[in-house]
Amino acid sequence: MSRNWESYIDRAIRQAIEDGKMDNKPGQGQPLRLDEDKHTPPELRMAHKLLKDNDLLPDWMLRSRDLETRQEKLAAQMEKAVRQYQTRKAAAAAEGDPYAVEIAWKKTQDSLREAVESFNKAVLSYNLQLPPGVAHRPFIDLERALARLLDTAE
């Protein structure tokens, strides 16, 4: 039912454009004026205007970029660690000494776990400071990420 309604609206708008009913409207061809954001609380409007006028971003947006960079680096670290583990494991299987490889893998996991815990603490702090309506950043689940990487590497 909603598809019929949407297509009716689309047809009505298209017909109005073709008939020229949308020509010569106030502001036509001009950029939208989005200075007045009715969703921004009145006490924050001046701060947002100052940030916008000076090409600055709110702290939470800057922190989001930093977290994104950290997450990409962590993902690359995990991928590299899994590749090294798989390579060493295959070599150890040929040589008959898998014990040393497993000990090294546990140490690598411990190191990754510390990095992920630090990242997740930063994510928690970030999520607690977000303005209402902004989606929270998810935490990294190291075991799930490593399991997924190990499954795809095999």
pLDDT at 35: 61
pLDDT at 122: 97
Flag residues of the chain having pLDDT under 70.
Answer: 1-6, 32-37, 153-154
pLDDT at 123: 96
Q: Is the distance from CB of 115 to CB of 74 less than 8 angstroms?
A: yes
pLDDT at 1: 44
Distance between CA atoms of residues 3 and 110, nearest Å: 53
Q: Where are the alpha helices (DSSP H) in the chain?
A: 2-18, 42-53, 59-95, 98-129, 142-153
pLDDT at 20: 85
Distance between CA atoms of residues 88 and 73, nearest Å: 22
The four Cα atoms 98, 92, 109, 153 give a dihedral, to 10 degrees, of: -120
pLDDT at 146: 93
Question: Encoding tokens for residue 42?
Answer: 């009145």
pLDDT at 142: 95
Distance between CA atoms of residues 123 and 67, nearest Å: 7
Tell me the backbone φ, ψ of residue 23, rounded to 5 degrees: -80, 155
Residue 89, amino acid: K
